[in-house]
Amino acid sequence: MELLSRKLRHLCSTPNVSFHPKCVKLGLTRLVFVDDLMIFLRGDLPTVSKATTELAHFSTWSGLTANLDKTEIYFGGVSEEVKQLILQATSLQEGVFPFRNLGIPIHASRLHADMYGALILKLQQLFISCPSQYLSYAGRVQVLNSVLFGLGNF
């Protein structure tokens, strides 16, 4: 995955390819989890085509392939014409916002408090469960602060 990360970062330094507009400051091209990969790039045909080529090279080299039945592409701020060109070029299914990753809603725009309902419910269940009964009030506050701080980082 380190090789793929380097290839994606290098890809953004080539002509006609760029970072996703919201990821330029961080230089963010991807998020890698145990069995999930999210790639963030500018939504235009040259960028997506070159990224698809890099993914194919990586797959050949590593033997790792994406499950195309579970792979979706998401668009934000892309014209319908460009969107259709990209969908035809990649043969991927278009995903719909909001979607959930690790229980957190992901959306193209700013999230609102009501979108965190499922996460808040899980936190409430955590504090009601048996292990949390052994925590003091200060311990519970510390756990809650850690979770909320981690959520902001996520």
154 has a pLDDT exceeding 60: no
Q: Which residue has the higher pLDDT, 150 or 75?
A: 75
Specify the pLDDT at position 88. Answer: 92
35 vs 8, more confident: 8
Q: How far apart are CA 41 and CA 51, in angstroms?
A: 8
What per-residue confidence (pLDDT) applies to 84? 93
**Is the pLDDT score of 128 beyond 90?**
no
* Among 132, 112, 134, CA closest to 122: 132
Strand bridging mode 37-39 / 104-106: unpaired
Mean pLDDT score across all residues of the chain: 81
Give me the residue spans of the domains in the chain: 2-96, 110-154
pLDDT digits (tens, 9 = 90+) for 31-75: 777 778 888 888 889 999 988 998 899 999 899 888 888 888 989
Query: How many C-beta atoms lie closer than 10 Å to residue 86's C-beta?
Result: 21
Contacts of 85 (CB under 8 A, 6+ apart): 45
The structure's pTM equals 0.65
